[in-house]
A = this chain, B = another copy of it.
Amino acid sequence: MKWKVTVIVRLKEGLNDPEGRVIGNALRNLGYAVENLRVPKHFEFELESEEPEEEVEEMCRKLLANPLIHDYEYSIEPVS
C-alpha cells in the first residue's frame, strides 16, 4: 500500500540554530517583530509499505534524525 509521509526534525530545545538566527535577524532588520525563529528539517515523500509506521520510525533513527540532538515527528496518510 502507498503512503504520503511527512517527517519534521527539530533541534532539541536549547540547541543553537544558526540558520534560524540569521533569518530571524534579517526579518527583524526588515521591521518585523519576529522571535525564536527555527528552521526544522522537513521531508515529504511517498512510501510503498505494509508497515509504514515501523519503517518511518526506522528511517528517522537511521538517517533522517540524530536522536542526540534532534526530536522528530511524522504523519502518515494513505495516498488516494
A26–B49 CA distance with the chains assembled, in angstroms: 17
Tell me if A23 and B43 are in contact (CB < 8 A): yes
Using known A-B contacts A24-B45, A45-B24, determine if residue A59 contacts B30 with beta carbons closer than 8 Å: yes
Contacting A62 at CB < 8 Å: which of B30, B36, B41?
B30
Copies of this chain, tallied across the complex: 2
CB of A11 to closest CB in B, whole Å: 11
14 extra interface residue pairs, beta carbon distance < 8 Å, beyond A40-B42, A41-B42: A8-B42, A23-B64, A26-B63, A27-B45, A32-B55, A32-B59, A35-B45, A37-B45, A38-B43, A38-B44, A39-B43, A39-B44, A40-B44, A42-B42
Q: Which residues from chain A sit less than 8 Å from chain B, CB to CB? A: 8, 20, 23-24, 26-27, 30, 32-49, 55, 59, 62-64
